[in-house]
Copies of this chain bind each other. A is one copy, B any other.
Amino acid sequence: MSGTGHVVDPATLLDRASTGDRVALARLLSVIERGDGPAVAVAELSYRKETPFTVGLTGAPGAGKSTLTDGLITAVKGGWPAPEAEPLSQVGVLAVDPTSPFSGGAILGDRVRMGRHALDPAVFIRSMATRGHLGGLSLAVPDAIRLLGAAGFALVVVETVGVGQMEVEIASAADTTVVVVTPGWGDSMQANKAGLLEVADVFVINKADRPGVREARRDLEQMLDLARPDAWRPEIVATVASAGDGIDDLWAAVARHRVHLRDSGLLAARRTERLARQLRRVLVARTEVHIDEIVAGEEFGTAVKELAAGELDPYRAADRLLGA
């Protein structure tokens, strides 16, 4: 058995993870995914440390997000581009699929995905698909981001499959949100165009070697013309991720957005807003647990019997069960 194979307290595991012990880090992420008491202990440590800069990536399945993320990792390892030119010693990647029943145990998937980064000690990739308790992925992903920050990662990329409400919510819990489209994207994303527009800080038109790039760009520009008059107009970057084309442009656009966030004071403001939303979610999750306990209890059964007998109404019954 390895040293981290035993039951070890979260603080010790986090110390080990901070010095590059990937097994310790993986174990902490598994704890976060379970979402029970120990997960809270991990959160207690993580949220007291540095917040990593987070880039969220989302887009329809088949838009080439994995390949794009793969390329982005290489760019990231070169550090933030000039004029900042800050080094980035390591990058954490969370690959989130809300529709998949597989969780952190999806090791084969991780290995395949890691591709050329598989043996790179500066890169840590983890799949997240479910959470056992407490609020699901919309709480587990921010917790995992903060854990990576606490373990010393200054940059985390969160890649989410899909453009539904939940996927967009997860991807947009980032400092910079990248929405990936392809030529001819309009039809496939019609349902959630407004939602995507609202969260996007950077648009990528991937597979830009295919016909329709000019039309896709025009569509996006028109949408942006009609949308929020904001200090930041989302940049539109064309890429061919499979050939590595445009990746540096994407990284440069992300870097410009980061500078904008920092210089405008928006970075802190948006992070505070995010924390408030997260706290609300924890409150909801906690009360849901409480309600499940009530529903499983004997008094609930008694109340339902009285309801069925016409001796009670649901509102008085709820008051009684909540002890109000």
A43 CB-CB contact with B under 8 Å: yes
- The digit string for A305-324, where 1 denotes a CB below 8 A from any CB of B, is 10110111111111101101
A215 CB-CB contact with B under 8 Å: no
- A48 is contacted by which of B300, B311, B315, B321 (Cβ under 8 Å)? B311
Number of interface residues of A (CB under 8 A): 48
A47 CB-CB contact with B under 8 Å: yes
Nearest-Cβ distance from residue A310 to partner chain B, whole angstroms? 5
Among A278, A288, A303, residue most surrounded by chain B Cβ atoms (within 10 Å)? A278
Among A40, A43, A280, residue most surrounded by chain B Cβ atoms (within 10 Å)? A280
* Contact A314 B48, CB 8 Å, known A291-B283, A295-B280, A322-B286: no
Q: Which residues of chain B are near A51, meaning CB under 8 Å?
A: 310
Please determine whether B318 and A304 come into contact, CB atoms closer than 8 angstroms. Answer: no
Which residues of A, 41-80, contact B by the 8 Å Cβ criterion? 43-44, 46-51
- A300 is contacted by which of B40, B279, B281 (Cβ under 8 Å)? B279
* Contact A313 B48, CB 8 Å, known A276-B304, A308-B271: yes
Q: Which residues of chain B are near A321, meaning CB under 8 Å?
A: 279, 283
Copies in the complex: 2
* Contact A47 B310, CB 8 Å, known A272-B304, A291-B287: yes
* Contact A308 B48, CB 8 Å, known A283-B318, A287-B287: no
A294 CB-CB contact with B under 8 Å: yes
Nearest-Cβ distance from residue A148 to partner chain B, whole angstroms? 15
- A282 is contacted by which of B50, B283, B287, B314 (Cβ under 8 Å)? B314
| Bound Cα distance A288, B290 (Å) | 12
| Bound Cα distance A314, B282 (Å) | 7
* Contact A314 B278, CB 8 Å, known A283-B322, A291-B287, A322-B283: yes
Please determine whether A291 and B280 come into contact, CB atoms closer than 8 angstroms. Answer: yes
Q: Which residues of chain B are near A279, meaning CB under 8 Å?
A: 300, 303-304, 307, 314, 317-318, 321
Q: Which residues of chain B are near A139, meaning CB under 8 Å?
A: 314
A88 CB-CB contact with B under 8 Å: no
Interface of A with B (CB < 8 Å)?
40, 43-44, 46-51, 139, 268, 271-272, 275-276, 278-284, 286-288, 290-291, 294-295, 300, 303-305, 307-308, 310-319, 321-322, 324
